[in-house]
Amino acid sequence: MTNEPGGAVRPTLGAPARSVVRTGYAAFFLVGWCMLLLPSLIREIESAFGQTDAGMGVAYLLYNLAWVTGTVSTGVLAGRMPRRLLMGGGPALIGIGLVVMAAGGSWPVFIGGCLVFGLGLGIIDSGMNAVFMDLFPGRQASALNRLHLWVAIGALVGPFATGRLVAAGVPWQAVLAGGAAAAVAVAIAMATRNLPPTRHARAHRDGDVRGRHRAAPRERRVPVPVVVLSIAIACYVASEMGVTAWLVRYLADAPIELATLALSLFWAGMAVGRIVTSYLAERLGSVTLAWTWSIAMGIALMAALAAPSLGLSIVLFAIAGVAAGPVYPMIMAIAGSMYRDRTSMVSSVLASAAIIGSLLYPPLMGFLSETLGLGVSMLGAALFAVGAAIFVVIGARLGVREGAGAGSAVLGTAD
């Protein structure tokens, strides 16, 4: 047992739970690395298959459709099949998709690989958030920030390494194959861990059949505060992934090493933001941090687009990353604090909404680039960040009004 500030006592994680945490970090590092592979290799992929920005927009659209399918499927399947099998299947699908993308010699085959790849990413995204909510009840904000820190670390390392490998003459297909090998290792680790059971599985284990049947109609409904927070997270991800997907292309006049470095710095900023917020979450409150960081992200993006020099613009994109980092886990923590007994629902709904955000706007940016210019598309990403802040406040207020969770858990200083 360890003491919390103020004298509260919380249990210390045992060795099996610590191994789950470490495997979760590895899985989210893989997600961060993999989700920036296409943006980092966009120039090479467009050249190899003779595609335009609009064609890559279609690829992003289908890839994200597969991702949201994975997140929704995880929420439906949670508790209905062994959790370790479900979670081990996610990285396995990532590996299969990467192999198909690397080996395929035509655009349709490449797209098919993208679909399998996105499905696996969606399973890990939704499923691991729920695992950490179940592992850390009452400390979800800090725990989720630490988990999502590893997405940022993977995302900042990935473009940097990819840019240098491609510049050194390594075929882009070999970069994808290397990611597949890492995915297989994570799949094996995930499938052999003792993951905590879902609430559905715990109820089945305890024989609470009548209780499950009574709660089923209510639990099939998504509460209004979660719906509003879903809009917030969709707006945020539309902004974050809009920048992620098109930053290297936006900096087309810069050498590939510098353009991918800018993308790495954006995600390095996200890692810094998540580290800082993991220590501030219980002191300042999830809602305050979510909306202030989101507005700061929008302002920094606008400044980066208006910057008079490339160097200043890259610095401002990195600052935007610092602000962007904590927003996703903070929104997830707000909803998780409201509905502590429905973590699979919260994680699945919010993760699905997040992918809808990346499903709609980043692909649209490819078409806007052909007409209005990529700069206008990037400005739209900044405005989505400001919109996310508005919906965070509305969703949190509705949660307090409906009495979802403790008031301090939603708007106060404790998660």
Q: In this predicted model, what pLDDT tens digit does every residue of 19-58 receive, in sequence order? A: 888 888 999 999 988 888 888 888 888 888 888 877 887 8
> Can you give the pLDDT at residue 7?
39
The segments of the chain whose pLDDT lies below 70 read 1-16, 75, 78-79, 138, 140, 197-220, 281-283, 341, 343-344, 403-415
Q: Are 350 and 233 in contact (CB under 8 A)?
A: yes
Residue 399 makes CB contacts below 8 A (sequence gap 6+) with: 225, 334, 338, 405, 410
Strands 9-10, 2-3: parallel, antiparallel or unpaired by DSSP?
Answer: antiparallel
> Is the full-model pTM beyond 0.85?
no
The H-assigned helical ranges of 168-223 are 172-191, 199-206, 209-219
- Nearest C-alpha neighbor of 324 from the set 230, 252, 250, 238: 238
- Bridge partners (DSSP) listed for residue 81: 78
Rounded Cα–Cα distance for residues 368 and 329 (Å): 29
- Do the Cβ atoms of 231 and 391 come closer than 8 Å? yes
Residue 143 φ then ψ, to 5°: -65, -45
Q: Count other C-beta atoms under 10 Å from residue 408's C-beta.
A: 13
CA 8 to chain centre: 31
Q: For position 214, what pLDDT does the model report? A: 46
Work out whether the CA dihedral 142, 145, 147, 150 comes out positive or negative: negative
Q: How far apart are CA 415 and CA 406, in angstroms?
A: 9
